[in-house]
Amino acid sequence: MRSNDVRSSDTRSNDVILSCRGVRKHFGGVVAVEVAEFDVERNTVTALIGPNGAGKTTLFDLITGFVDPDGGTIVFEETDITDKPAHAIARDGLVRTFQLTRILNKMTVLENMMLAARQQRGERVQNTFFRRRDIAHQEAEIKVRALALLERFSLLPLAYEYAGRLSGGQKKLLELARALMTDPTMVLLDEPMAGVNPALGEQLLRYVLELRDEGMTFLFVEHDMDIVMRISDRVVVMATGEIISDGTADDVRSDPAVLAAYLGDHAQEDIAEAEGEQP
C-alpha cells in the first residue's frame, strides 16, 4: 500500500481528466445533485462515498449521459460532454458499470464481452453482406482479447454459458470485464464489490490498481469502507447531493463534516462498521 501512496502523490500533477462545474439535478422539489466543483485526476483511483440517497449514483448518471443535468458543465479530456448522449460518452472512453448489474442475460458470457469491443466493422449492416472475411478476421481478434480478459477475472470456464446463469458476484465481475473490453481511459464503477466473494474481490482490487498503474483512471462508489480506505488515492464524500469532503482517506476519516453527515442520517451503523473494520 505504501508504494501506491508514493505513486499517487507522484502522479498528482493536477492533470484533470474529468471535471464537473455547477452540475445540478433536481427531481421535483428534491435536490438530487448540486455539485459546485468536482475534479478527477488522471491515473488515480477516486472513491465516492456517502450515506444512502447522497446522490452518488445520480452523479454517475449525469456524468455518463444517462440523465441530463439541469445545469452546469461536465468536461472529459478537454471535451464538453454535458449534452452528449450516453453512447457517445462511452465511445470517448468514459465507461460505467451499474449498481444493479446490467448483463445481457440471453447472450453468452463471451458474447457479452465481444459485443463491447469498439469499432467493429461487422456492426454496419451492409458489411454483414459484403465484408464477411474482414469481419471474421476481426471477430477472431476480439475473441482472443475477450478470452484473455475472462481468464483474468476467473470467468473463462463460463465463457459459453448464458450470462443469465451467472451468480450475482460473477455478474459484477463480467460487467467490469466487459467495460474493460471497450478500451476505456476512465471507468466509473458503481458498487463493484457488492456480492463478490472476498477472495475474488481481492483479486479484482489488485487488478484495478494494476490498471491504474498502466494509466487508467477509476472513480467508484463503494460502501465497504475497508476497501475504500485501502485502494483509493483520494476519497470524495457526498451528502444530500453536495460534496462535503474531499481528500486522502485519512483526511476524510477525521473530517467532522463527514461524521456529522453519516451520524445525522440513520447511518450510524455504517460508520461504526467502518470504524470497527479499521485496525
Partner 1 sequence: MTIDEARTTDTEAPGRDSSSQQAIGTLIALLALLWLFWSADFAWVIVLGVLIKAAVYAVSAMSLNLEFGYTGLLNFGQVGFMLVGAYTYALLIPHELGRAGTAGGSWPLWAAVIAAMVAGVLLGLVLGVPTVRLRGDYLAIVTIAIAEILRLVVRALPGLGQSFGVIKYNEPFDDLMPGFVEDWAQALDVPPNQLWLFLVAWLTVVAVLGAMALMIRSPWGRVLRGVRDDEDAVRALGKNAFWYKLQSLMIGGAIAGLAGVLFAIDQGQISPAKFLPLVTFYAWTALILGGAGSLVGPVAGSVIFWVILTQTSSLAGDLFPEWSSTAVSATRFILMGALIMILMVFRPQGLFGKREELSLEIQ
Residues of this chain, 165-184, that bind partner 1 according to CB under 8 A: 165, 178-179, 181-182
Q: How far is the CB of 72 from partner 1 (least distance, A)?
A: 22
Question: Beta strand 16-27 with 30-41: parallel, antiparallel or unpaired?
Answer: antiparallel
- Amino acid residing at 203: Q
Q: How far is the CB of 259 from partner 1 (least distance, A)?
A: 35
- Strand pairing partners for 217? 186
DSSP class per residue in 106-137: TSBHHHHHHHH-SS-GGGSTTHHHH-HHHHHH
- Amino acid residing at 101: T
What's phi and psi for 105, nearest 5 deg? -65, -35
Task: Report if residue 206 touches partner 1, rule: CB under 8 A.
Answer: no
Task: Report if residue 87 touches partner 1, rule: CB under 8 A.
Answer: yes
Options 9-17, 117-125, 208-216, 228-236: segment touching partner 1 (CB under 8 A): 117-125
Residue closer to partner 1 (CB basis): 3 or 160: 160
C-alpha cell at 166: 451467472
- Strand pairing partners for 221? 48, 190
Report the residue from 139, 226, 265, 273 that binds partner 1 according to the rule CB under 8 A: 139
Beta carbons within 10 angstroms of residue 49's beta carbon = 27
Task: Report if residue 194 touches partner 1, rule: CB under 8 A.
Answer: no
Instruction: Return residues touching partner 1 (CB under 8 A).
Output: 64, 66, 85-88, 90-91, 95-98, 102-108, 110-111, 114-116, 118, 120-125, 127-129, 132, 135, 139, 143-144, 147-148, 150-151, 156-157, 159-162, 164-165, 178-179, 181-182
